[in-house]
Amino acid sequence: MIASFLEGDYMKNNIVHKIPQILSFLILSGGVILVLSPLFVVLYTSLTTGGADSHFTFKFYQEAWHRGNFVLAFFNSSLVAIAVTFSQIVTSALAGYALARLQFRGKSFVLLLIIATLVIPIQILVIPIFLILRNANLINTYWALILPTAANGFGIFLMKQYFMTIPIELEQAAELDGANRLQVIWHILLPLAKPAVITLFLFTFIGEWNDLFKPLVFTSNPQLTTVQLALASFQEQFTSDWSLLMAAVVIATIPVILLFIVGQKQFIQGVGTTGLKN
């Protein structure tokens, strides 16, 4: 009798303690459903013919792929995104190392200026950037899509923060073995900063893939059409054909989703670690 009473009391207390967990689960589940519902609608619309005899089909994807000329658009967006991403990783690693390890006059002021650039959108700088590119005869070239974002304050700050979490003794040991600063960065710091590098890669690549502003302002050559520019043009042509339009949206989005799924673990680790030390 006493054992049954104690067991029942234990179960009751256990349920009471789990109430916050259950509520958190329900709230998070509701949030997931709320966020994913539009994606489900887009996917469902792109796979159905609509009307009374609605049925599933993949024909809209094939039609959207050819009509939108996404082969050229994917090539251009991939080229620009990879070039900008590689450039930002290099510049961010070098500048981040200088701010994390080197001592020089005005270091705090330089860091403050870099952080200040995070609140200045490229749209405000469009006129001076356009004039510089025009005077350099770079309008309607790939360079017009790459150079304006070849360096980024967020990337510099991210790498600086991560480098500060790495023990300086590792660098000192490498320098005793005859390694110079570039060798230390390449062989010691960057491998250890893999989560931060992947985080910067994801942020930069996804941002460049989704960018419409630079292709719209700095290019007018159809051969330089990017995915987002092709999607905007596609939307103007097929505003009433929702299935075809949603298929084009899915085509333009799939690479970004796959990329984030592959690197999400390192992305979360990189974001979490870079805030440990100032």
Check whether residue 96 and residue 201 sit in a common domain: yes
Higher local confidence (pLDDT), 170 or 87 = 87
Q: Is residue 63 domain-resident?
A: no
Q: Which of 108, 110, 148, 151 is nearest to 132 (CA)?
A: 148
| Strand partners of residue 48 | 56
Q: Tell me, what amino acid is at 269?
A: Q
Check whether residue 24 and residue 155 sit in a common domain: no
The model's pLDDT over 110-168, given as tens digits with 9 standing for 90+, comes to 999 998 888 888 888 899 999 999 999 999 999 999 999 999 999 999 999 999 988 88
The pTM (predicted TM-score) of the whole model is: 0.82
Task: Give the domain extent around 210.
Answer: 68-273
DSSP 8-state secondary structure symbol assigned to residue 54: -
Taking the CA of residue 243 as centre, how many other CA atoms within 13 Å lie in the half-sphere pointing to its CB?
Answer: 16
Check whether residue 14 and residue 140 sit in a common domain: no
Check whether residue 192 and residue 90 sit in a common domain: yes
Check whether residue 100 and residue 190 sit in a common domain: yes
Q: Is residue 184 domain-resident?
A: yes
Tokens 């989560």 belong to residue = 195
DSSP 8-state secondary structure symbol assigned to residue 56: B
Q: Is residue 278 domain-resident?
A: no
Q: Is residue 54 domain-resident?
A: no
Check whether residue 119 and residue 161 sit in a common domain: yes
Least reliable range by pLDDT among 6-10, 81-85, 188-192, 251-255: 6-10
Do residues 247 and 96 make contact, with C-beta atoms less than 8 angstroms apart? no
- Where residue 181 sits, what CATH number does that domain have? 1.10.3720.10
pLDDT of residue 278: 45
| Residue 258 pLDDT level (bands cut at 50, 70, 90) | confident
Query: What is the percent of the chain where pLDDT is above 90?
Result: 36
Check whether residue 182 and residue 81 sit in a common domain: yes
| Residue 84 pLDDT level (bands cut at 50, 70, 90) | very high
Q: Is residue 57 domain-resident?
A: no
pLDDT of residue 18: 72
Burial call 101-129: b when 16+ CB within 10 Å, e when fewer? beeeeeeeeebeebeeeeeeeeeeeeeeb
Domain count, the chain: 2
Please tell me the distance from the alpha carbon of residue 161 to that of residue 67, in angstroms, as a whole number: 46
Taking the CA of residue 46 as centre, how many other CA atoms within 13 Å lie in the half-sphere pointing to its CB?
Answer: 21
Please tell me the distance from the alpha carbon of residue 208 to that of residue 228, in angstroms, as a whole number: 10
Least reliable range by pLDDT among 17-31, 62-76, 128-142, 186-200: 17-31
Q: Tell me, what amino acid is at 109?
A: F
pLDDT of residue 160: 92
Check whether residue 82 and residue 36 sit in a common domain: no
Instruction: Check whether 2 has a pLDDT greater than 70.
Output: no
Read off the tokens for 118.
């995070």
59: three-class secondary structure by DSSP: helix
Check whether residue 112 and residue 24 sit in a common domain: no
Instruction: Check whether 4 has a pLDDT greater than 80.
Output: no
Q: Is residue 58 domain-resident?
A: no
Read off the tokens for 84.
């900008």
Please tell me the distance from the alpha carbon of residue 138 to that of residue 156, in angstroms, as a whole number: 26
Instruction: Check whether 276 has a pLDDT greater than 60.
Output: no
| Strand partners of residue 56 | 48
Check whether residue 40 and residue 175 sit in a common domain: no
Please tell me the distance from the alpha carbon of residue 241 to that of residue 235, in angstroms, as a whole number: 9
Check whether residue 159 and residue 235 sit in a common domain: yes
Q: Is residue 174 domain-resident?
A: yes
Check whether residue 191 and residue 238 sit in a common domain: yes
Please tell me the distance from the alpha carbon of residue 89 to that of residue 243, in angstroms, as a whole number: 39
Q: Can you tell me the mean pLDDT for 25-51?
A: 83
Q: Is residue 56 domain-resident?
A: no
Do residues 229 and 214 make contact, with C-beta atoms less than 8 angstroms apart? no
pLDDT of residue 229: 92
Phi and psi (nearest 5°) for 56?
A: -80, 140
Q: Can you tell me the mean pLDDT for 29-38?
A: 85
Instruction: Check whether 108 has a pLDDT greater than 70.
Output: yes
pLDDT of residue 237: 81
